[in-house]
C-alpha cells in the first residue's frame, strides 16, 4: 500500500529529527544523517503521484489527507517546490558536518522541513500560516542554537512573525464573516501582514541581528528556504482571497502600488545602510534587506512577478550559503567576536577561498553582473522599468550602495600582512582541515559555474512558476 503523500512529507523529516535529538553531541553524525534523510525524502516524494490542477481550481490541489476535518493536499506545485528544498537542505546538513552550526541545527532543520510542507499543503490556505508560524518557531530555535546570552535576533524574528500571522488570521475572519463590510480593512490587513513577514520597511529590524547572531548557515535555511515557501504562500493567498467577482490582486487598485512603494523603500534603506556598515554581518544583513525589497517589488507585479521573485530567492539561497561558508572560515581565523572590517586585515592572503566566497556571496545579493544574482536582478529591473523609471533607479542605487560597502570591507582583507601570517599551512595529518579547504574551493567553483550557466537557477524558478500557471 502506497504511503499517502502528505504523510511522507510530514513523518519523513519528523521521525529522524526525534532520533537525532539524542545524537546532538556528534555534529558529524547528525549532519551526515540529516543530509541522507533529506536526499531520501527527495527520492521518495518524487515517486509520489499527484493530481493535475484543472483551470479554475485552487493552485494546490491533489491527493488529500484529512485530519480533524481539515485537509492536507499534495499537488505538482507542492511536490516540485519541496523536491527543490530537500536538495538544498541536504547540502546545508552535509556542510554542517564539517562546520557545526549548533547542536539543534539538524533536528530543528528537519522539523522545519515538515512544518514548511504542512504550510503549503494545508487547506484553507490562510490556516496554512499556522504551520508557517510553527516553522518560524523552529527557525528561532535555529537562530538561537548554540548561543549563550543574547536572544535579540530570535525574539525579534519570532515576535514579528507571530504578530503578522495574527493580523492575517484577523483578515481571514473578516473575509469569512462580512467581506462586503470589511473590504477596506481586509486588504490593508493583508498588506500589513505580508510586509511584516517579508521584512519590508519599517518592519526590517530583525534582519541584521539574525545574520549577526545566528550561525552562518542558518541564514540560507531560514531566510532562503523559509522565505521561498512564504512567497509561495503569499502568492496563493492573494489569488485565493475573493472580493466580489475578482481576487484581491486584480480588484483593489491601491494594494499593488502600495506593495511596490514599500518594496522600493526597503531597497533604498538596505542600500543606504550598507554604505555605513562596519562589520561583515551588518553588511550582509543590509545587502539581504535590499534583496528583500527586490522580492517585494517583484511580487507587486502579481502573476508576472512570481518567477522573478522565485529567481531572486534561489539566488539569495546561493548567496547566503557562499557568504556563510566564507564567514565561517574567516571567523576560524579571527574568532567569533571579531566581526569588524578592521579585524579582517590581511585575511585575503591567509585564507583566499574564504574571502572570495564572502565577496561572491555579498555581490550576488547585490545582483552585480558576473554573479549568480545578476539574472534575477536584471529581471527585476526590466519589470519595474515598465512601471516607473524611478524604481529602476532605486534598484541600481541599492546595488551601488552594497558594492561601495563591500569594497570598504574588502580593502582591509586585501592589505598584505608580513611575517608568518602571510599564509596558512594545513598540517598533512589533519584531514578534516584539508577536506574543509577542498570544500571551500569546490563551493567557489560551483558559484562561478552558476555565473556561466544562469539557467540553472532560472530553470528552478520558471519550472515552478509554469506549474502554478497550469
- Does residue 424 lie in a domain region? yes
Q: Which residues contact 224 (CB under 8 A, 6 or more apart)?
A: 88, 313, 316, 317, 320, 321
Q: Are residues 61 and 132 in the same domain?
A: no
- Domain C-terminal end among 76, 98, 123: 123
Work out the percent of the chain whose per-residue pLDDT is above 90: 46
> Has residue 157 been placed in a domain?
yes
Asked if residue 246 belongs to a domain, the reply is no
Q: Go through the chain and tell me how many residues it has.
A: 470
247 domain residue, yes or no: no
Q: How far apart are CA 339 and CA 331, in angstroms?
A: 8
- Are residues 318 and 341 both part of a single domain? yes
Are 285 and 229 found together in one domain?
A: yes
Same domain, 215 and 291: yes
pLDDT score recorded for residue 397 = 93
Q: What pLDDT is attached to residue 108?
A: 94
Give 333's Cβ-side CA count (13 Å radius). Answer: 25
Collapsed DSSP state (helix, strand, coil) of residue 312: helix
83 and 130 inside one domain: no
For cell 492573494, the residue is 238
- Same domain, yes or no: 261 and 408: yes
Does 72 lie in the same domain as 113? yes
319 and 221 inside one domain: yes
Per-residue pLDDT tens digits for 240-294:
665 554 555 556 568 888 999 999 999 999 999 999 888 888 899 999 999 999 9
DSSP 7-29: HHHHHHHHHHHHHHGGGTT-HHH
How many structural domains is the chain composed of? Answer: 2
Same domain assignment for residues 61 and 136 = no
Which residue, 70, 102, 123, sits at the end of a domain? Answer: 123
Segments forming the whole domain that contains residue 74 = 1-123
* pLDDT number for residue 423: 46
Which residues, given as ranges, of the chain have pLDDT below 50? 1, 52-62, 245, 419-429
Same domain? 50 vs 178: no
Q: What residues contact 306, with CB distance under 8 A and at least 6 apart?
A: 235, 298, 299, 465, 468
Residues 343 and 228 in one domain: yes
pLDDT in tens, 91-115: 999 999 999 888 899 999 999 999 9
Q: Are residues 118 and 161 in the same domain?
A: no
Q: Who's near 311: CB < 8 A, 6+ residues apart? A: 375, 376, 379, 457, 458, 460, 461, 462
Q: Quickly tell me which residue has 581565523 as its cell.
A: 333
Amino acid at each position: 500500500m502506497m504511503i499517502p503523500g502528505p504523510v511522507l512529507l510530514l513523518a519523513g523529516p519528523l521521525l529522524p529529527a526525534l532520533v537525532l535529538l539524542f545524537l546532538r553531541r556528534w555534529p558529524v553524525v547528525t549532519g551526515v544523517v540529516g543530509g541522507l534523510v533529506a536526499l531520501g525524502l527527495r527520492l521518495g516524494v518524487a515517486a509520489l503521484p499527484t493530481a493535475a490542477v484543472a483551470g479554475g481550481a485552487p493552485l494546490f490541489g491533489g491527493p488529500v489527507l484529512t485530519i480533524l476535518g481539515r485537509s492536507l493536499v499534495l499537488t505538482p506545485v507542492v511536490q516540485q517546490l519541496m523536491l527543490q528544498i530537500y536538495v538544498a537542505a541536504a547540502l546545508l546538513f552535509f556542510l554542517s558536518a564539517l562546520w557545526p552550526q549548533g547542536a539543534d541545527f539538524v533536528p530543528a532543520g528537519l522539523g522545519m522541513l515538515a512544518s514548511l510542507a504542512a504550510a503549503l499543503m494545508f487547506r484553507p490556505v490562510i490556516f496554512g500560516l499556522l504551520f508557517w508560524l510553527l516553522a518560524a518557531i523552529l527557525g528561532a530555535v535555529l537562530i538561537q542554537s548554540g548561543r549563550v546570552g543574547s536572544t535579540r535576533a530570535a525574539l525579534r524574528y519570532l515576535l514579528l512573525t507571530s504578530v503578522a500571522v495574527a493580523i492575517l488570521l484577523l483578515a481571514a475572519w473578516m473575509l469569512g464573516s462580512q467581506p462586503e463590510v470589511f473590504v477596506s480593512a481586509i486588504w490593508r490587513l493583508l498588506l500589513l501582514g505580508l510586509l511584516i513577514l517579508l521584512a519590508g520597511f519599517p518592519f526590517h529590524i530583525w534582519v541584521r541581528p539574525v545574520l549577526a547572531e545566528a550561525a552562518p548557515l542558518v541564514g540560507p535555511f531560514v531566510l532562503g528556504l523559509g522565505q521561498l515557501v512564504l512567497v509561495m504562500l503569499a502568492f496563493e493567498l492573494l489569488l485565493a482571497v475573493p472580493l466580489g467577482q475578482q481576487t484581491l490582486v486584480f480588484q483593489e487598485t491601491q494594494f499593488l502600488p502600495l506593495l511596490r512603494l514599500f518594496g522600493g523603500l526597503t531597497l533604498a534603506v538596505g542600500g543606504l545602510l550598507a554604505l555605513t556598515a562596519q562589520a561583515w554581518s551588518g553588511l550582509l544583513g543590509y545587502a539581504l534587506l535590499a534583496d528583500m525589497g527586490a522580492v517585494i517589488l517583484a511580487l507587486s507585479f502579481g502573476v508576472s512577478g512570481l518567477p522573478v521573485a522565485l529567481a531572486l530567492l534561489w539566488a539569495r539561497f546561493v548567496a547566503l550559503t557562499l557568504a556563510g561558508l566564507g564567514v565561517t572560515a574567516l571567523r576560524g581565523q579571527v574568532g567569533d567576536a571579531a566581526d569588524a572590517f578592521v579585524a579582517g586585515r590581511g585575511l585575503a592572503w591567509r585564507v583566499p577561498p574564504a574571502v572570495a566566497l564572502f565577496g561572491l556571496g555579498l555581490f550576488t545579493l547585490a545582483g552585480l553582473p558576473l554573479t549568480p544574482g545578476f539574472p534575477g536582478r536584471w529581471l527585476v529591473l526590466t519589470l519595474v522599468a515598465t512601471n516607473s523609471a524611478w524604481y529602476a533607479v532605486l534598484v541600481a542605487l541599492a546595488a551601488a550602495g552594497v558594492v561601495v560597502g563591500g569594497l570598504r570591507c574588502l580593502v582591509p582583507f586585501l592589505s598584505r600582512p608580513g611575517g608568518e601570517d602571510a599564509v596558512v599551512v594545513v598540517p598533512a595529518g589533519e584531514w578534516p582541515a584539508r577536506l574543509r579547504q577542498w570544500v571551500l574551493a569546490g563551493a567557489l567553483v560551483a558559484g562561478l559555474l552558476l555565473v556561466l550557466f544562469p539557467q540553472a537557477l532560472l530553470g528552478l524558478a520558471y519550472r515552478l512558476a509554469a506549474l502554478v500557471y497550469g
